[in-house]
Chain A
Amino acid sequence: MQIFHCPFCGPRPDAEFHYAGDADKPRPARDCSDEEWARYLLMRANARGVARELWVHRAGCGRWIVLARDTVSHEIGGSEPLNP
């Protein structure tokens, strides 16, 4: 039971959030190659250590946030709205 810091709601239990993948992944244009598309769609940073993750505060404000979180220690670095 980790505590995530929602930029809108403050510290909340992780159960309220839903994981949605890597942050900072620009969506390629339609004319990209199959490989580029697969990289966007399927490849994951899967960082061991500090990761920048996209979460949605489903059972709270419903907003999407970017969370800096250590995937080994589960320490929370910080969080920001996906779209401030």
Chain B
Amino acid sequence: MSGIVTQEGVAAWLRAFAEAVAKNREYLTELDAAIGDADHGSNMDRGMQAVVGRIDGPSAGTAGGGVGALLKLVGMTLVSTVGGAAGPLYGTFFLQVGKAAGEATELTLAQWAAALEAGVKGVQMRGKAVLEDKTMVDTLMPAAQALSAAAASGAGLAEALRQAAAAAEQGMKATIPLIARKGRASYLGERSAGHQDPGATSSWLLLQTAAETLAAGAPAEVPGA
């Protein structure tokens, strides 16, 4: 069972991500204040709180439609509640992952890795960003690639997710010296160098919480839970 991504696992992941965003709300805003407009933390928190409210709410669409429907709900919630560029970008991510996941309620690691790759492609397509533009793509892309590579090499789900999170962390940290070429931070030109990208940071939280929760049914593994 530990090799399967379940709908319950995905829901747990989303709650954990929401919690991580809430906990790091000030930190994200602080990062954004340095090179953006100081609202990433509050925007993401607002969005993820709304997400949690929906997936746990009375009108939750989790009963039917599988992982795809759940993630579509997440994506649509984010696009209408986040407000900043993170709204359409994370919205696209979840919509695309959900679309790739389809109606299944359980996904294999390979299926999940493919879905994640689709999500990342969606983000790239939406934001027209490539690697080293100092965006969330710098975190998401290496993470998706690591996940796929781990899946191809026959690693277990937990291990693959850990590797993806590690790649995400590395990618996030690699944004520090970069000069932003997309979004508000690009207005700063060279002065954007020396700051970690807030979007890349929230994306790392996404991958990190995935590693902590998505290998479902094993809450004992969740650190600090």
| A, B in one complex | no
- Chain B residues at the A interface, C-beta cutoff of 8 Å: none
Residues of A whose CB lies within 8 Å of any CB of B are none
